[in-house]
Amino acid sequence: MAKKLVGTMKLQVKAGQANPSPPVGPALGQRGINIMEFCKAFNAKTADLEPGAPCPTVISYYQDKSFTMDIKTPPASYYLKKAAKVNSGAKTPSRETVGTVTTKQLREIAEAKAGDLSANDVEAAMKIILGSARSMGIEVK
């Protein structure tokens, strides 16, 4: 017999840094999910990612208190800020430029994000990432 799905939740947790303190602990605890089991599993799955990278995670929890998690790649804005060496995007993106990235860097970001984007090929993924860069005030050269 299949497990009965109780619900799903979304969290953004830093790679390799899941711990029972807020916001992770209370969010999981009120849904009856074993917090330490989640932390150990999450940290093990994100060990190969850069420590501290924000990872959007979708957690499905079941009636028998078990759970499954789907860890996505860090957001495009994280990669763009890192490539452009800036701390935040522009306050007025259409008027000011805070940094630049090359098309080679854009391609690397698109390849890293390819599994989470709704693009058929790398060129289409690059256009999606280019749109994110423009909306952050980052110029592509």
Check whether residue 90 and residue 52 sit in a common domain: no
Domain end marker among 32, 50, 71: 71
Are β-strands 67-71 and 99-101 bridged in parallel, bridged antiparallel, or unpaired? unpaired
Q: What is the pLDDT of residue 115?
A: 76
Interior CA angle at 121 toward 116 and 126, to 5°?
A: 75
Residue 58 sits in the same domain as residue 101? no
Single residue among 13, 41, 71 that ends a domain in this structure: 71
Q: Does residue 59 share a domain with residue 30? A: yes
The pLDDT value recorded for residue 2 is 66
Residues 133, 81, single domain; the answer is: yes
Provide the CATH number for the domain around residue 96.
1.10.10.250
Q: Are residues 27 and 63 in the same domain?
A: yes
Q: Residues 24-61: pLDDT tens digits?
A: 888 888 888 888 888 888 888 888 888 888 888 888 88
Angle subtended by helix axes 76-84 and 122-136, to nearest 10: 70
Task: Give me the number of domains the chain comprises.
Answer: 2
Residue 10 pLDDT > 60, yes or no? Answer: yes
Q: Rounded distance, CA 68 to CA 71, Å?
A: 10
The verdict on 9 and 67 lying in the same domain is yes
Residue 23, domain extent: 5-71
Could you tell me if 66 and 81 lie in one domain?
Answer: no
User: Is the same domain home to 54 and 86?
Assistant: no
Last residue of one domain, picked from the residues 20, 55, 71? 71
- Would you give the end-to-end CA distance of the chain in angstroms? 55
Between vectors from CA 116 to CA 104 and to CA 39, what angle results, nearest 5°? 115
**Which residue in the block uniquely carries the two structure tokens 């932390």?**
39
Structure tokens at 106: 């854009």
Give, to the nearest 10 degrees, the angle between helix 76-84 and helix 103-113. Answer: 150
State how far the alpha carbon of 79 is from the alpha carbons of 5, 9, 38, in Å.
34, 24, 26
Could you tell me if 11 and 41 lie in one domain?
A: yes
- Whether the full predicted model's pTM is greater than 0.85, yes or no, is no
The position carrying tokens 């074993």 is 34
Closest to 106 measured CA to CA, from 140, 62, 67, 70:
140
Same domain assignment for residues 106 and 67: no
- Please give the share of the chain, as a percent, with pLDDT higher than 70: 99
